[in-house]
Amino acid sequence: MKIFQLHNSYRIAGGEDAVVQRERLLLQQQGHQVITLERSNAETDGWPAWRRSRLLLDTFFSIESYRRVREICQRERPDVAHVHNVFFLLSPSVYYALDREGVPMVQTFHNFRFLCPNAIFHSGGGLCEQCMAGNYLHAVARRCYHDSCAQSLALAASLAWHRYVGHWWDRIDAFIALSQFSRQKLIEGGLPEDRMFLKPHFLDSAAAPPLVDGDYVVVMGRLHPEKDVQIAVEAFQHLPDLQLLVLGDGPLMEPLKALAQRLGLRNVEFRGFVGGTERFEILRHAKLLVLPSRVYENFSVSVLEAYAMGKPVVASRIGAIAEMVEEGVTGLLFEPGQSADLARKIRQLVEQPERVIELGRAARAHFERHFTADTNYRQLMDIYDFARRRRESRRNRGVKIASCDI
């Protein structure tokens, strides 16, 4: 099968980018040909002023992306297209180009951007679902995108136009949600249930590592406000005999370092972004992973990585995280934003090293049942087959949606 993979990465690399690469390698290992079209928002940093001035229009509908996608389709004749992220340089124009060429389309939802301009259902320091039903003007009033009324208006207008005028959802043949929680949220927001599939991420199923009870705790991910790493740092005021390793980078790196210094914490170490085998080695020798996020995560790659290494997780009781971490089986849950509660849950495990091993063993077993490459590949092929059948059925029935011809 010839698969066309499209992805737009953000300025700071994250789990989403690693997932896209893993999926591509999996397909290639199974003998499929993968054609890629990738952009990065970091490209704009080197653009001249005249080109940056066009960015707003291009993110609404990129003529360059539209034409490029059509050219690739006409040259390569892919059997299916798998779209991951289109914001902001690829733009939603890729859906119209693929539809125009009659290519079956699959869309993975790595976040909630289709329903929420800031993509995470979070505004004003708390959860917010006001735009989910389709009135994106709430995001303008709250300045939800980059705290800018103008940018929020532009993004809200784009989402509304493509939803109600361009009918981009109708053009896509199959959707992939990463958790049951996110699948339900997407359906509540109006996306079609009969085309919404559940397929989590995966890791290569290497042999189970030796289970050890380490002497430090790990928190990892982008250092952004919604990840609430601050709560983990604050919790370690109450855990002076235990070390916290912070793996990740982002705009809160210096403020978090300043917080640790202000609290006099000598047991918190910031390692920056760590990837590859070093990341897994750090996890393998850790006691557990902490995930303090206070937003609806679609799916946590860090939890997946911890499970692969046989490590329990102490996570906030919110969204898909509470679905991934089974209380008392693969880890413990704490109340979001409550550093004292987090500290209590960590201490419960620290004082019971045999339970850490037990939970870690269950975490690894859960990984082997649900998150291996073989399982994921079978799910992906089923979704691709569905998308191809739906596209063929539409073609046979002569179903057409008003299309762009540029």
Burial of 158 (0-12, 13-18, 19+ CB in 10 A): buried
Determine the pLDDT at residue 404: 61
Partner residues linked to 333 by β-bridges = 315
- Determine if residue 390 is left, alpha or beta; phi over 0 gives left, psi from -120 to 50 gives alpha, anything else beta: alpha
Q: SS3 for 220? A: strand
Written as one letter, the residue type at 269 is: E
pLDDT tens, 68-121?
Answer: 999 999 999 999 999 999 998 999 999 999 999 999 999 999 999 999 999 999
What would the DSSP string read from start to end of 3-32?
A: EEEEEEE-SS--HHHHHHHHHHHHHHHTT-
pLDDT tens, 335-345?
Answer: 999 999 999 99
| β-pair type (80-83, 105-108) | parallel
pLDDT at 48 over 90: no
| DSSP letter (8 states) at residue 38 | E
Minimal CA–CA distance to 287: which of 311, 271, 316, 306? 311
- What would the mean pLDDT of 353-379 be, rounded to a whole number? 95
pLDDT at 389 over 80: yes
CB 122 within 8 A of CB 226: yes
Determine the pLDDT at residue 401: 74
CA 237 → CA 228, 247, 267, distances in Å?
16, 19, 9
- Least confident window among 11-25, 123-137, 363-377, 381-395: 11-25
Minimal CA–CA distance to 378: which of 366, 388, 390, 370? 370
pLDDT at 51 over 90: no
Percent of the chain having pLDDT more than 90?
A: 82
Determine the pLDDT at residue 150: 87
Domains of the chain: 2-108+167-202+373-397 (3.40.50.2000), 216-370 (3.40.50.2000)
Determine the pLDDT at residue 403: 60
Arithmetic mean of pLDDT over the chain: 93
**pTM of structure:** 0.92
